[in-house]
Amino acid sequence: MAMTRTALRLLATNDVSPAEVIHRLNAQLYPDIREDMFISLAYVVLDRRSGDIRMVRAGHDAPLLYRAAGGGVTRVSPPGMAVGIDSGGAFNRVTNNFSLLLEPGDCLILYTDGVTEAQDRRGEEFGLEAMIRSVQASASEGAAGIVQRVTNDVKAFIGDQPLHDDITLITILKK
């Protein structure tokens, strides 16, 4: 993780597209990643003024997009391969830029699988549908409200069960 973070910081520049950054990251890290390992990530560049988002998804869970007009939540699923699986040929063909525009009140939610795969005492997972319901129920409370509601709903769902994976939530809201 530390190696990925350091390399990403060195490669990310304003004049390079998100996909090019991730292609370079894969080329740099591929030789050092064990055959049974990989790195999943989403790389997002936001223009705060326009709400334009350029992103690349490298094997990471598909972010959710809440649209204020209509209150719907959809998965943003551009294709993408995890870093370290391929030396570059297939990786560079599959892992490409994706753009979307946030309108006022819209929110992009990035999360780790620790959210959807959190288990209750029966071994049932919290799941994507429950997460979508949490997002819809809290969207009017803004980005922090979404994070708080999803976190609280996961905690209530698992009860006293220990978490088996980390939970990370990032919300990007256009005001």
Domain boundaries, the chain: 2-173
DSSP state of 6: H
- What is the band of 14 on the pLDDT scale with cuts at 50, 70, 90? confident
Q: Which amino acid, 83?
A: V
Tell me the two tokens of residue 27.
């080329």
CATH classification number, 2-173, choose in 3.40.50.620, 3.30.1360.120, 3.30.420.10, 3.60.40.10: 3.60.40.10
pLDDT in tens, 77-132: 999 999 999 999 999 999 999 999 999 999 999 999 999 999 999 999 999 999 99
Contacts of 117 (CB under 8 A, 6+ apart): 125, 126, 164, 165
pTM for the whole structure: 0.93
CA angle 42, 100, 47 (to 5 degrees): 80
Burial class (CB in 10 A: 0-12, 13-18, 19+), 173: buried
- pLDDT in the model for residue 1: 86
- 105 within 8 A of 171, measured Cβ to Cβ: no
Using an 8 Å Cβ cutoff, are 96 and 150 in contact? no
Radius of gyration, CA atoms only, the chain: 17
